[in-house]
Amino acid sequence: MSYRQNDVLIPESSYIRFNDVQLKKYYFNDVLVWQRQQKVYPGIPVAKTQNLGYGPYFTVTNNGSDIKVDAFGGTERGWGRAILGPFSSIGYSKLYFSALRAYITNAFSKVSVSLGDINGNWVQRLIYHDTGESLGGYDVTFGSGDIFTINSANGNYYLILEVDSGATSRGLNAVIQMNGCYLL
């Protein structure tokens, strides 16, 4: 949240200093009016995409402010990941998405969002859903009210968006679509 004082707008990516001390949070009358946050996406680039299934059944679209990772089941399995980063989480312990939608319409499919390394090895899973044998039906949107705690002290991460869609003749899919990720 930005803060305005004396007609000066202080963005959440800036600093507020009080008695030569940098604040991460600023309270006025016991009400939080400003909190420092670091933008992860948009900002960090797609470092790597990995197509782990059948080529035509995995796509990534990224216009710089919105990224969509899609795997759709055809005659073979669609499976892949987009790896964004790197970014440093040093000084931050929480993360949130301004809007991240994860949905699955296929059986034997998965979606996950993780913190990890450039090779796709995850350190911490933030979001994970596996439909198993049931026919999809998973559709969840995560917003700024969904705060995730970063468990590891490691400060250098990649954000891994992974989708996996089982083979089907109906072309059903597993999708992650995100337009903002921030550290608190």
Q: What is the pLDDT of residue 61?
A: 95
Nearest of 100, 103, 87 to residue 150 by alpha carbon:
87
Nearest of 63, 141, 44 to residue 96 by alpha carbon:
141
- The one-letter amino acid at 6: N
pLDDT digits (tens, 9 = 90+) for 25-76: 667 788 866 665 678 899 899 999 999 988 889 999 999 899 999 999 878 8
Considering only 7-21, 69-83, 115-129, which range has the smallest mean pLDDT? 7-21
Question: Which of the two residues, 143 and 106, has the higher pLDDT score?
Answer: 143
Instruction: Write down the pTM of the prediction.
Output: 0.81
β-sheet bridge partners, residue 17: 22
- The answer, yes or no, to whether residue 1 has pLDDT greater than 60, is no
Question: Which of the two residues, 91 and 57, has the higher pLDDT score?
Answer: 57
- Put residue 24 in one of left, alpha, beta given phi > 0 → left and psi -120 to 50 → alpha: alpha
Q: What is the pLDDT of residue 38?
A: 76
Q: What is the pLDDT of residue 9?
A: 59
Q: Greatest CA span in the chain, whole angstroms? A: 65
Class of domain 40-183: mainly beta
Q: What is the pLDDT of residue 168?
A: 78
- The total of other beta-carbon atoms located within 10 Å of residue 35's CB is 15
Backbone angles phi, psi at 154, to 5 degrees: -60, 135
Confidence label for 172 from pLDDT (cuts 50, 70 and 90): confident
pLDDT digits (tens, 9 = 90+) for 145-163: 999 999 876 778 999 999 9
Q: What is the pLDDT of residue 135?
A: 72
Average model confidence (pLDDT) across the chain: 85
For residues 11-29, average pLDDT: 66
Q: What is the pLDDT of residue 139?
A: 95
For residues 15-26, average pLDDT: 67
The residue extents of the domains of the chain are 3-36, 40-183
